[in-house]
Amino acid sequence: MVKTGILPIIGFRQNGRRGAYHYFRPNETGIEQAKHFISQVQLEKGDLPPIVDVEKEPRKKRIRDLRRELKTFLDAIESHYRIKPIIYTMDSFFQSYLSEGEFDDYP
């Protein structure tokens, strides 16, 4: 369940463009995180695509579960906003955990 006391979303504005950032919590479900993000973020024309920061290994799940939950999150966000989200992570994390091919199309 997404913790309600701390919003994992940061809104920002750069050069007149707005954006929203989500810190992906690897031990929580992707669908609950996506529902929370969608409930908090209303994108407007010209806004940057949603950004999801993935940088932690799960403590309670396997890496394949992390990939599945992240994909669930990304699919829900893309379906809702009709734009492909951006994955923000370190190259070493991507190479170690996300380079199986299913995330190659994400900026």
pLDDT tens per residue across span 30-72: 999 999 999 989 888 888 899 999 999 888 889 999 999 999 9
Strand partners, 87: 52
Q: Which residue has the higher pLDDT, 61 or 11?
A: 61
Distances (CA, A) of 29 to 25, 41, 75, 97: 8, 18, 13, 17
Which residue in the block uniquely carries the two structure tokens 């992707």?
Answer: 30
pLDDT value, residue 97: 87
* Nearest Cα residue to 77 out of 100, 47, 97, 101: 47
pLDDT value, residue 14: 58
pLDDT value, residue 101: 85
Distances (CA, A) of 61 to 25, 26, 80, 89: 11, 8, 27, 19
Confidence (pTM):
0.84
